[in-house]
Amino acid sequence: MRKADLATWRIPLKPKGVSIVVREHVAIIGLNSELYSGYSLCAGLASSADEAGVVSWAIRRTTGHRSDQMLNRSIRPGDLLQHNAAGAIL
């Protein structure tokens, strides 16, 4: 698939679809595809976009989340090790 093809997709990014692509490519390189899924990639995209300041409706349009409440369940804080008690003493 060419980079231009990815830019023209207008369908929501769903964990199931990503999982299929991830598992196919993981198998191609000889790893156990059962150990990989699409959810982590989708959550990573949502988290990175949120951290970069992308508005929630734009993230939801890409990921297919129907509400901010559901989107927020996928967004992982990027500063877990930067702003915590353990990080302050390490």
Identify whether 43 is part of a domain: yes
In a domain, 86, yes or no: no
**Domain assignment of residue 68, yes or no:** yes
pLDDT, residue 79, reads 64
Full-model pTM: 0.58
Residue 24 lies in a domain: yes
88 within domain boundaries:
no
Question: For residue 32, what are the domain limits?
Answer: 3-77
What are the φ/ψ torsions at residue 38 (nearest 5 degrees)? Answer: -90, -20
CA distance 33 to 37: 8
The domain total for the chain is 1
Q: What is the mean pLDDT of each run of 10 residues along the chain (90 residues)?
A: 50 71 88 82 87 94 92 82 63
